[in-house]
Structure 1
Amino acid sequence: MPKPPTFQSPTATPAAIVDALKAVAGDPPKVRASFAKGRCVRGTYVPSDRAEEITRSRSFTRPSRVLARFSVGSSHSIATNRAPLLLRGFSFRLGDAHHSSDILTQSAPVHFAKTLEQMLACLKAHIPGPDGNPDIERVKAFSAANPEAMYQASYITAHPLPRNFAGTTYWGVHSFPATNSAGETRFIKFKVAPVGANVSPAESGVMADSDKLLHDDMEHRITSGNVRFSLMALLDRPGDPTMDVTIRWPDEDDRDEVRLGTIVITGLEPDQACDASIFDPANLAEGIAHPPDEIFAARRAAYALSLAKRR
């Protein structure tokens, strides 16, 4: 397995990334640098009888409580300024106090930048001007010079989202080394698939305040019953790219996957239960290791800085 990288960029530091994310969102005070509009929930996780084939991590092989947060990306999305195409996020924590894992997923299977330098440049190109909008010529110039940075936007455009969080499919964009009960290690990607919810895409023209509609819908579903997702592991093949989070594995939608377990969202939590700390992407119980790509390597510091700023 490739060793997790460390990066010492003089410009694209985690602090610079957080500042740029805040600037793209209009620099709102005391909120997350990204996915600021969210709803904290609770639930349970029940592992499948195949989970130990993939990982020996007790976060994924034992039943546990779940703390989770559904969220919506910035209104100044780098992909588009149209609300129906904003990213959605689903972050969750499985396991107990000694074997917990935080998994961060989103409604597109790729990230918008391969390197921190590219990520910072992309964010700077999308910082809004005095009129509240980014400079379209600057955005076009960046996109022309960095075509891989458009892969996420292209995916979002081609795959309209359902009108609710419950029917949305979420992906982890990173390749995680997973070690199973037999000591065998391979790369997996996480996918969170809805169970029993309406997954029909929204029609065009969803209102700009759709984040409120999404959160109200989730609250109604939880108070009326529960919301279920299958937590899946997509299995690697020889030669799959594990360092570039802007591209998918070949034939990713058609390859083998294993259901690790079921997440059942059963109740609402005060937002403070999620906002008091962070879902730390580096918090992974033994059996799931850190992905080797550059973006993941910077995330822990960036999330901690974002938490400090909003406090």
Structure 2
Amino acid sequence: MTREFQRRDVLKAMAAVSLLGIGADDPKGLPEQIVDTMNEIFGRHPGFRAFHAKGVVCEGDFTPSAAATTLSKAPHLRGPVKTTVRFSDGTGLPDVPDGFPDAGPRGMAVRFHLSEGGVTDIVTNAFNGFPVSDGEEFLAFFRAIAATKPGSPKPTPLDKFLGDHPKALKVVTAPKPVPASFVTEPYFAVHAFRFTNAEGKSRFGRYQFLPVAETKFLAAEEAAKKGPSFLIDELTERLAKGPAALRLVVQLAADGDVTDDATVVWPEDRPVVELGVLSITGRVADQDAAQRRLGVDPLRLVDGIEASDDPLLELRSGVYAVSRRRRR
């Protein structure tokens, strides 16, 4: 591990959890403030995302299950469609080592190319949970990080914040092991969506992508010995031998489950609906062009799928738009 990465504050690398907020008195809009702050933490890297900067873009196919249309009338759930898939490490550093402990949680974004034209996206992280529920809490969280310096007296500003926010403490301290492959760990969309079928029946649910073959992680010592881009290299070698598959499922909310707060993780016993299988067939040839061109948005939705009232959904959409504009 290089000294550069050893020196980085562990919790600043944890900015990879997802979003960031800063003061409302700034004349810029909140999404632009967020991207500015990400650039301040990780540095400006022209042509790269402010967040989840290091990644690989692949192509594949999605084949819906017979049960998919019982949940939603969305067009990509009625027949096979082409997909674009991006796996990524979880910081704003384009050269972060894949085995670095705080390079997670990793991300997986999927674009479905609809047969009648248009696209729809799903954005997920490899951790089931979120530290805060709104931009104000995120502002306080990162202000606490910024105010906590090496040698800060105890309790530090960060200690105080985490002491007052047990859900954030749980996310920050939860194990996030390094996967053996991008396709051997599960991914979770932490926000709820409303799914409506052709009969007009609606249910709230959250997406999950689950490995078809196996779930496999590495011990910390083993991950530390891997090459800096071993996850990208491993995926390239794997796809040269044949497709890699993940199941797309939706975990359904029960009556009374919270659907507008990403910090609330639903119990594991909630039922799931199998939507289909995502088959990743290969890497996109021109990675540089693909990385710049692909811009996912959790609110790029289609008939049959609606956003919940989770306030972070609209904020994420705006943040991605700013980052995409600057990248191009």
Measured in 1, the distance between the counterparts of 2:241 and 2:146 equals 41
CA displacement at 1:98 relative to structure 2:
3.2
Residue 198 (structure 2) pairs with residue 181 (structure 1): yes
**TM-score normalised by structure 2 residue count:** 0.81
Question: Of residues 300, 306, 311 in structure 1, which corresponds to 2:323?
Answer: 306
Residue matched to 1:3 = none
Residue 140 (structure 2) pairs with residue 121 (structure 1): yes
- Matched residue pairs, number? 292
CA displacement at 1:99 relative to structure 2:
4.9
Question: Of residues 262, 266, 270 in structure 2, which corresponds to 1:255?
Answer: 270
Residues 10 and 49 of structure 1, relative CA distance in 2, 3 Å threshold: farther
AA aligned to 1:202 is: L
Measured in 2, the distance between the counterparts of 1:178 and 1:33 equals 31
CA displacement at 1:15 relative to structure 2:
1.5
AA aligned to 1:240 is: D
CA displacement at 1:208 relative to structure 2:
8.2
Measured in 2, the distance between the counterparts of 1:119 and 1:130 equals 19
Q: In the TM superposition, what whole-angstrom CA distance separates every residue of 1:14-40 from its partner, at most 9, and x where no partner exists?
A: 112222222232343432121111000
Q: Percent identity?
A: 28
CA displacement at 1:201 relative to structure 2:
2.2
CA displacement at 1:192 relative to structure 2:
0.3
Residue matched to 2:121 = 102
Measured in 2, the distance between the counterparts of 1:163 and 1:305 equals 32
Question: Of residues 274, 281, 286 in structure 2, which corresponds to 1:266?
Answer: 281
AA aligned to 2:283 is: L
Measured in 2, the distance between the counterparts of 1:268 and 1:109 equals 27
How do residues 1-311 of structure 1 correspond to structure 2 at under 5 angstroms? 10=25, 13-74=30-91, 83-85=100-102, 86-96=104-114, 98-127=117-146, 137-155=156-174, 157=175, 160-197=177-214, 199-205=215-221, 206-207=223-224, 212-249=229-266, 251=267, 253-269=268-284, 270-271=286-287, 272-311=289-328
CA displacement at 1:103 relative to structure 2:
0.2
Measured in 2, the distance between the counterparts of 1:244 and 1:43 equals 32
Measured in 2, the distance between the counterparts of 1:47 and 1:183 equals 20
- Structure 2: gaps (5+ residues): 1-22, 94-98
Residue aligned with 2:49, SS: coil
CA displacement at 1:10 relative to structure 2:
5.0
Residues 260 and 202 of structure 1, relative CA distance in 2, 3 Å threshold: same
Tell me if the contact between 2:47 and 2:292 (Cα under 8 Å) persists in the aligned partners: no
Higher relative contact order (Cα pairs below 8 Å, separated by 6+ residues) = 1
**TM-score normalised by structure 1 residue count:** 0.85
Residue aligned with 2:142, SS: helix
Tell me if the contact between 2:127 and 2:188 (Cα under 8 Å) persists in the aligned partners: yes
